[in-house]
Structure 1
Amino acid sequence: MSSNIKDVARHAAVSISTVSRVMNMPDKVAKETRDKVLNAIRELNYMPNALARGLIFKRTKSLGVLIPDISNMFYSEMLHGMEAAAHDQNYNLILCNTDNNKTRMMESLSVLKEKQIDGLIFTSEPIYPDYHELFLKLQIPIVLAATHSLEYDLPSVKVNDEQASYDATEYLIKNGHRQIGMICGSITDQVTAMPRLQGFLRALKVHQMEADMEKLVEFGSYKFEDGYHAMHKLLEKYPDITAVFAAGDERALGAISYLHEKGKSVPEDISVIGFDNLRLSQMSIPKLTTVGQPLYEIGYLAVEKLDHLIQKEHVPELRTYVDHQIVERQSVKMRNHESV
């Protein structure tokens, strides 16, 4: 029969709270008492679990992470950052893939509640009113990563998508392009797709260029095949196009694939810029110029912010916007040498 925390307390002649303090905050316990407890743990071969460690402090040192699509390469680097921060803060991560399905998300939240997680990181999706109601019922700290909410006071970490898209479009303009199209995300996505569309259109208007959304923009999902089909439609209705801003690297690579099949050279005939700076963007031919967002940093900061909330410490910034950058590679060509 395995030993439990009560057995350790009895064997060391101390209270359960003292055993818990030794496991959670050993520097707060006198050396003599700490040694007695550690000896009892060794002699009884006690393996403390998360629930035992949380008996006194009501913490399991576990964090839940909701991912809408684990197959999306976007999340691997962000999860890498989360895992690093969790390790530094002595947390374990429990990852749930919702597969962009509301029912699965609700089931995942139920499982995480049973696991008595200390906090939750919610990624990428918009925060709808019914989602917010579910969050309130959890009664735990929640941080948003690569998404945010302007309606609810939920701490978040992300890039400024509107400004990043403005900068991507202006980069094409400054490279001499005047006929620019966009492959955008779903029109229902208010978190990333719409801000990126707004940034694109703002750049065109600032530089006094055509901003006809019907002609210049194709909508779709984030996957490779969506970029492929969107490029087909965009080229059909805008054959004079010289550059494309694809609001996602997978979309950009899908667009490049379609152009290659149609005998269009990138960047000689049409330049393409992506968004995200996924590892895959360095593996394409040509290598993809893209908007780099620091996904590792987003993941790391989200866990750090969540830890501050769990510790009931002051979080100075509700909505954190991290810096983006234009990562120049080989898929954008200067159309002329005229400064725009």
Structure 2
Amino acid sequence: MKSTIRDVAVMAGVSISTVSRVMNAPNSVVKHKREKVLEAIKALQYKPNGLARGLIYKKTNTLGVIIPDIQNPYYAGVIRGMEDASKALGYSIMICNTDRDEKRLFSYMQNLNEKRVDGILYTSDVVYPDFYEEIEAYRIPLVLVATHSLEYELPSVKINDEAAAYDAVKYLISLGHTSIGMISFELTDEIAGLPRYEGFQRALREYELEACVQQVAFAKHWHDDAYYAAERLLQQYPDITAIFTTSDEFAMGVLSYMHEKGIRVPEQMSVIGFDNIRMAQFTIPKLSTIAQPVYNMGYRAVEKLNALIKGEPDSTLREYLPHELIVRSSTGPQAARS
């Protein structure tokens, strides 16, 4: 049978409140009593119940992490950053995968509230009005990660997706490509779909390539969707010599399609991705991409959430971290396709 705080108090000959103070504010207890309590804790191998302590002190040192797709390798770096920051700041994390299902999302929100998490990290999804109402009702501090909300005053950490997409397409243009296509998330995706498409458009119009704006095929969230999107795109626009994709997974689907159709990359087709997941440097050829600082986003989001929990001021509500163009061997100068 596990020892209780009452057992420790009896063995040490002190009150339960004294044992509690030794565990939470040891300097407030005189030395001889503190030593007796510590000896009793060691002898009884007493381990305090974290949930019970959380109910008493209204702090569980636990953060909830809500992600939309645990199979997506993009989130590995984000979560690693969250985990390292949480450990450094004395928190543990609970990961909840929603699969972009609203019922699962609200179920997780209820569970996290019941477990009295100190705060929530909400990743890569839109903040809809009913979800915001839920946040307000629970009064749980929340930080958005790899997403933001212009409608609600919620702190966030992400990159500038529009500017990052612009840089990717501008790079393809600098290589001499004048017929550029895009494989995009649906434009109803306000986080990674619409802003990246807007960056694609801006670069083309700036360099007087407006005819390319319509050269877009849409996919969902997997490389096999992008494979078939590449097929549709090239059937409709066979003169394309470069493709910008809104994720590295999409780019991998495109590379697979090119390989099967005998289209050489980058000699006949340049392909650039978005995210710089770990596998991007192991594709054949290695993938040029836009690097998101996923680890830093995760780490910084926990720091912002910690400050929010403690009631500390944050001078930047919507924080943007820098992206980086990573040039590898999947992109090259324009060449005629046979």
Q: Is 1:312 aligned with 2:314? A: no
Name 2:151's counterpart in structure 1.
151
Judge conservation of contact 1:69–1:100 (CA < 8 Å) in 2. yes
Partner SS state of residue 86, structure 1: helix
C-alpha displacement of 1:220: 1.4
Distance (Å, rounded) in 1 between the aligned partners of 2:22 and 2:145: 33
Encode CA deviations 1:245-284: one digit per residue, 9 max, x unaligned: 0010000010111111111101000100000000111111
CA RMSD in angstroms, aligned pairs only: 1.9
C-alpha displacement of 1:23: 3.3
Partner SS state of residue 188, structure 2: coil
Judge conservation of contact 1:266–1:272 (CA < 8 Å) in 2. yes
C-alpha displacement of 1:106: 1.0
Q: Is 1:284 aligned with 2:283? A: yes
Q: TM-score, normalised by structure 1?
A: 0.93
Name 1:54's counterpart in structure 2.
54
User: Structure 2 unaligned runs (5+)?
Assistant: none
C-alpha displacement of 1:20: 4.1
Distance (Å, rounded) in 2 between the aligned partners of 1:28 and 1:334: 70
Encode CA deviations 1:183-231: one digit per residue, 9 max, x unaligned: 1112210112100000110011111112554x31111112101110111
Encode CA deviations 1:3-39: one digit per residue, 9 max, x unaligned: 3334434544556555445434556666555434322
Name 1:327's counterpart in structure 2.
326
Partner SS state of residue 150, structure 2: coil
C-alpha change, 1:310 and 1:292, in structure 2 (3 Å) is same
C-alpha displacement of 1:43: 2.6
Judge conservation of contact 1:272–1:288 (CA < 8 Å) in 2. yes
C-alpha displacement of 1:335: 2.6
Name 2:78's counterpart in structure 1.
78
User: Structure 1 unaligned runs (5+)?
Assistant: none
C-alpha displacement of 1:66: 0.8
Name 1:197's counterpart in structure 2.
197
Q: TM-score, normalised by structure 2?
A: 0.93
Q: Is 1:252 aligned with 2:244? A: no
Name 1:136's counterpart in structure 2.
136
Partner SS state of residue 210, structure 2: coil
Sequence identity percentage? 51
Encode CA deviations 1:258-313: one digit per residue, 9 max, x unaligned: 11111110100010000000011111100000000011111111111111111111
Q: Is 1:41 aligned with 2:37? A: no
Distance (Å, rounded) in 2 between the aligned partners of 1:211 and 1:37: 77
Name 1:88's counterpart in structure 2.
88
Tell me the amino acid that sits aligned with residue 144 of structure 1.
L
Distance (Å, rounded) in 2 between the aligned partners of 1:234 and 1:272: 13
